[in-house]
Structure 1
Amino acid sequence: MDEIREGSIHHTALKFTEDIKQMKIYNNLYKTVQKLTCSPDVKNDDMKNTLEQAMKKHGLETEIRNIVFHLIRNSIKSEVKFSMQTNDPLNYLRRAGIQWERRVRKSLNTMCSELKTTLQGQLRKEQEKEELSNKWTELSNFQVDLSNYRPVYAPKDLLEVLVSLKGPAGANKDDGCSNDDVIPRWEFSHIALPVRNLQELRTVFSEILRNEMTLNDWSATCERILSTRHAPLCQQILKKGLTPILLRGKIWSIVLGSELEDHHNEYWEELKVNVLNTDSIVDKLVFKDVQLTATNDDQYFVFEDVIYQVMLCFSRDSEIADMIKTDWLNTSKLKQYETPQNNIVPFHGICMFAAPFCYLYDSPIALYYTFRAFYVRYCHRLTTINTHNQGIVSLCLLFEKLLQTHEPSLWSHFRELQIQPIRVVFKWLMRAFSGHLHPQELLILWDLILGYDSLEILSLLAIIILSFRKESLMQVSTIEQIEAVLADLSSIKVLPLVQLALSRD
């Protein structure tokens, strides 16, 4: 058994070594080790031990540990490998994912045809290029005619597809609904995805309920941990939801592996040049989305110019397509339709995933890479139909089960009104509450997402908000009135509500 274990560790180490060699930071890493090897700290008669000590002294050991930490996290896939075997109960869900991706790509390509343009875009005229360059830091003053442009899709479009999903034949025979024409079927209960119950969530998020230190002690502890730059320890900081505001940006960048390196600055300039040189339909969609969302938001309109920069470069970033790997993206049904360089079809509200990062970073470059890492790890699962245990389908199913189990009177109230409760909270889930919570409360929520590496906290918060406003919800009878009750979340305090949700019987 020990030989098998050692062999497995050896092969894993070899794989990670090869992965690191393919990374952009490898050359600098290798040169640094070479310099250390030639330094007085390393002795020829005991090179192994003295080199290890020198690496610790100069912080190189921590850097390598963080690289391995991120490689391990990114190599773990919870999603079952794509299969079209007839006995797989999730095949219909995977097919729905392919159909959805095909639909949004087709819509974007159709828009290109209607506007007589190509998705790759065309070279900008010198005058326009110069104007765009001059206004790069104040893009809100760059005039763009957006009258013929519309969002490719919105959260409600994805929701309509999700609630219309049909599972395998007979999946709903025992759902307790005898008259589907009168009472709507709760559309996620038949999906064979495993989700946690409240007791299991209480175990997962147990650190939230433990606040032994005073805030002053905790702040000092966070500073000490941050000084180590050790990613797993920094991730632990975030689990309490008490992250010091001034430290949050640095902690997030370490946890997400997005600390700035020289190659980051160089690649940002490449993306910027691409934007300046090429006029793409995606640029118009970016401007349209920012104007429809962030510009009209009291908390984010001041960051309009930075959001433009970040989202325009985001649309040109072909590295994202390599980072977000799903088993079904290479199917022939999808290849017939082109996509933007980042392989992401922009949708209504996509810029709101980037907007909160404006509160963390002064530099648009630092902001960009942490936002990109957050999007790749979490946000893309909220906008695609997938079988991942952190995907939007799983979160909807978790929400329904928690509501039915722990708020039966609210559940019954929705059933009597023939209103599907997911319709009330879906926009919160798909945007991870961005644009709905006050920014400082949203950042606490995203602290918890990063700390526990889990999006399940979104469903938990959605449930407790409904519980918190239960009395008002029980007194209204239309979906418009329900939405009015839940329209303003500015007074919501994330941590106390989540603690309340986890401590309930």
Structure 2
Amino acid sequence: MVEQFQEQYVLDLLQDLRTSKLYTDLHNAAQTEAAKASLRISDLKKGVQAGLVQSGWDRRLRNAVCKYMQTHPKTSQPHAPPEQNKEPLAHLRKAQQAWEKKILKSLNSMCTELNIPLARRRPEREQREMSSRWTELGTDGPGNYYLSQIRPVYAPKDFLEVVIGLQNTNYQTTPAPSFYNFWGIIQIPLKVKEINELRLQYSDMSINQCQTGVDDYTDIPAELFELDRVKLGKNVIKANHGPLAQEYAKKGCPVSLRGDLWCQMLVVEVDDVDVLYYDQLKANVLQHDLLVDNLLYKDVKLTATNDDQYFVFEDFLYQVLLPFSRDTHILKHFQQSSATPPKSYIRGKLGIEEFAVFYPPNGVIPFHGFAMYVSPLCFLYKEPVKLYYVYRELYMQYFFRLHSVSSHPEGIVGLSQLFEKLLQEQEPQLFYHLKSVGCQPLKISFKWMMRAFSGFLASEQVLLLWDRILAYRSLEILPVLSVAIFSFRKTNLMKVQTFNAAEAVLADLTTLQAVPLIQLSLFSQ
């Protein structure tokens, strides 16, 4: 049975490759090699293979296979129903479904109250005007009065209430010590990593290891270390091998190389076909006005536009987020997600599947703060097309887990449990004090983790943090940093007597350095 499953996994991998653009490009490259006059018929196979290897196609194919294996992990229940493989715990599936219904109800209520449709076709004149000001959408977007009527469908605090309310009515036995949450508010027992497992996982970040972006080198001059890192990084980029780039990035990416290294780790190679696809998405934005567009406009105005670091990228953000909402390729990530893309029905055909469409087309309804997933990337890429594809991969491989209910160890529920567990173990006195004054720590740190610290840390610190997310292919570093911040501000937090006072102590994180805090949290005890 195991062999059959492995065989099916390989067949699924091959099928995924055959339907990809890489397969077509590889086929064309093989034909070009076969047509070379210097190649003899008797050596055709070996000659074509050697030519493809010499041209770097073997690395591109290996990167694609590696990406598939990382984004499609082998399930422990190969013959289980699809919904069970997406989320094995029935009570979490039900909770996610209930949450999705609540989001849709909120969206539909807004449509009814404001008397606006979910979608409408733009008049030709409006299309031409929007096309002419595509790079200035922030200046000439929806009017302030209109936007003032639009409200975010939900915010992190709303989702936190859902996470806190999760319970398994079938669970009655006393949990093992490693699962137990003595003082926390996460009530379901999920297995999360022990501190020693995290230390082993992030061993390349240990205190005795020099890190890019950290000015505390002891053995070698900072300038020499950075020069060596840049020199090595250029060789890594030249090799064009994703796993090699991941290994390199475990100690951080130099600013000048970060954009290229991230493309390698995410397997992003933008060509003419990708540019054409982005233009098609742009055309869809011009042709149809969605209610989701206004949610995105509102979110950018409330977050990035009010941030001293990101306000200059307002127009850039619209050029990414609006096409993103139309991209049906993003629906693929729901194969690995506990979530289900919402549907809308043609008027008068409610409940009839033949008249149902995904809404929005990418299946993702944005929340308050959603734009901050994109904002730090604006420092890395000058072209909106490359920025778009890097963001799309970041979302589909990582960020989608931060706003859905699941038992995955890197889902927001597991990250919340890991945060509470680590803080209780490392700072029991602090945790108990905050709990006793009515301030559950997760109620403060949840929004940090849900937004991957974007908008809370300084932009360069966010990028250094995201270096490690990509390098280790894990979001577990988010609760580790959250615990480190509480430890760092412990002296002041021990003096607070109210929730508002604790929030004030942790309101400004822009002066903090992410990597040293993580190192202290993991390796100083």
TM-score, normalization by structure 2: 0.87
Quickly say closer, same or farther: Cα 1:446–1:79, change in 2 above 3 A.
Answer: farther
Q: Establish whether residue 345 from structure 1 lines up as the match of residue 355 from structure 2.
A: no
Partner of 2:281: 271
Structure 1 residues 12-23: aligned runs within 5 Å: 13-23=10-20
Name the amino acid aligned to 1:72: M
- 2:213 corresponding residue in structure 1: none
Match of 2:269 among 254, 259, 272: 259
1:25: Cα distance to partner? 3.2
Q: Give how far 1:83 is off.
A: 8.9
Corresponding position: 1:249 with 2:259: yes
Instruction: Indicate if the aligned counterparts of 1:41 and 1:51 stay in contact, CA closer than 8 A.
Output: no
Shift in CA distance, 15/380, structure 1 to aligned 2, threshold 3 Å? closer
Shift of residue 11, structure 1, vs aligned partner: 6.0
Q: 2:405 pairs with 358, 381, 385, which one? A: 385
Q: Quote the Cα distance in structure 2 between the aligned partners of 1:492 and 1:347.
A: 26
TM-score (norm 1): 0.90
> Counterpart of 1:245 in 2: which secondary structure?
coil
Aligned counterpart, 1:501:
521
- The correspondence of residues 47-446 of structure 1 with structure 2, limited to 5 A, is 47-76=44-73, 90-119=89-118, 121-144=119-142, 145-168=146-169, 171=172, 186-188=184-186, 190-209=187-206, 210-211=209-210, 214-241=225-252, 243-326=253-336, 329=339, 339-446=359-466
Q: Distance in 2 between the 1:440 and 1:289 partners? A: 22
Question: Is this contact kept in 2: 1:316–1:340, CA < 8 A?
Answer: yes
Residues 101, 12 of structure 1: CA spacing in aligned structure 2 closer, same or farther, 3 A cutoff?
A: closer
Matched residue type, 1:315: S
CA displacement 1:247-270 (0-9 Å, x = unmatched): 111111111112202221111011
Give the secondary-structure state (helix, strand or coil) at the position aligned to 1:279. Answer: strand
| CA displacement at 1:329 relative to structure 2 | 4.9
Alpha-carbon distance in structure 1 between the residues aligned to 2:423 and 2:163: 18
Asked whether 1:473 is paired with 2:493, we answer yes
In structure 2, C-alpha distance between the alignment counterparts of 1:358 and 1:60, rounded to whole Å:
30
Q: Post-superposition shift, 1:330?
A: 5.6
Q: Do the aligned partners of residues 267 and 83 (structure 1) sit closer, same or farther apart at CA in structure 2, a change above 3 Å counting?
A: closer
| SS state at 1:324 partner | helix
1:143–1:25 CA distance, 2 compared to 1 (3 A): same
CA distance in 2, matches of 1:29, 1:44: 20
How many Å separate the matches in 2 of 1:94 and 1:482?
Answer: 34
Preserved CA contact (<8 Å) 1:399 1:459: yes
Segment drifting more, 300-309 vs 97-106 = 97-106
Asked whether the equivalents of residues 193 and 387 of structure 1 are also in contact (C-alpha less than 8 Å), the reply is yes
Please list every run of 5 or more consecutive structure 1 residues that lacks an aligned counterpart in the other structure: 177-183
Structure 1 residues 489 and 79, CA gap change in structure 2 (3 angstroms): farther
SS at match of 2:189: coil
CA distance in 2, matches of 1:17, 1:388: 26
TM-aligned CA deviation for residue 187 of structure 1: 2.3
Equivalent-residue separation in structure 1 for 2:427 and 2:400 (angstroms): 30
- Corresponding residue to 1:452 among 472, 477, 485: 472
Are 2:337 and 2:401, in contact at CA under 8 Å, matched by a contact in 1? no
**Shift of residue 110, structure 1, vs aligned partner:** 2.1
Q: Evaluate the alpha carbon distance shift between residue 291 and residue 216 of structure 1 in structure 2; reply closer, same or farther with a 3 A threshold.
A: same
- The answer to whether the 8 A contact 2:325-2:362 is kept is yes
Structure 1 residue 419: Cα displacement: 2.0
Which moved further from structure 2: 95-104 or 388-397? 95-104
The amino acid of 2:31's aligned partner reads Q
Residues 286-329 of structure 1, C-alpha deviations (whole Å, 9 max, x = no match): 11110000000000000000001111111111111123325755
Work out the CA distance in 2 between the residues paired with 1:236 and 1:426: 29
Q: Tell me which moved more, 323-332 or 337-346.
A: 323-332
Q: 1:50-88 deviations in whole A, cap 9, x for unaligned? A: 333211211111111111111111211679767999xx9
Counting matched residue pairs gives 490
CA contact (8 A) 2:342 2:359 kept: no
- Aligned-residue offset at 1:332: 11
Deviates more, 1:414-423 or 1:343-352: 414-423
Farther off after superposition, 273-282 or 449-458: 273-282
Conserved? CA contact 1:79–1:387, under 8 Å: no
* SS class of match (1:118): coil
Displacement of 1:350 in angstroms is 0.5
- The answer to whether the Cα contact below 8 Å between 1:84 and 1:91 also exists between their aligned partners in 2 is no
Q: Is the 8 A contact 1:82 1:94 kept in 2?
A: no
Say whether the 8 Å CA contact 2:175–2:189 is kept in structure 1.
Answer: no
Shift in Å at residue 499 of structure 1? 1.2
SS at match of 1:203: helix
SS at match of 2:335: coil
Q: Which sections of structure 2, spanning at least 5 residues, go unmatched?
A: 211-218, 346-350
Amino acid at match of 2:109: T
User: 1-side partners of 2:149 and 2:304: how far apart?
Assistant: 20
Residue 385 (structure 1) shift: 0.8
In structure 2, the CA distance between the partners of 1:465 and 1:265, relative to structure 1 (3 Å rule), is same
State the distance in 1 between where 2:138 and 2:482 align.
34
Distance in structure 2 (CA, Å) of the matches to 1:331 and 1:172 = 35
Residues 309 and 327 from structure 1, CA distance in 2 versus in 1: closer, same or farther, beyond 3 angstroms? Answer: closer
CA distance in 1, matches of 2:148, 2:100: 26
Query: 1:158 is aligned with what amino acid?
Result: F
Deviation per residue, 1:133-176 (Å, 9 max, x gap):
11100111214131221100000000111112223356487899
- Amino acid of the residue matched to residue 276 of structure 1? L
Distance 2:466 2:107 in 1: 30
Q: Which moved more, 1:56-65 or 1:430-439?
A: 56-65
Measure, in 2, the Cα distance between the counterparts of 1:309 and 1:502: 39
Q: 1:115 to 1:452 in 2, by over 3 A?
A: same
Matched letter for residue 208 of structure 1? M
Provide the alpha-carbon RMSD of the alignment. 2.8
Aligned partners of 1:313, 1:47: CA distance in 2, in Å? 44
90-99 or 283-292, which moves further after superposition? 90-99
Shift of 1:386: 1.1
- In structure 1, what is the Cα distance between the partners aligned to 2:82 and 2:271? 39
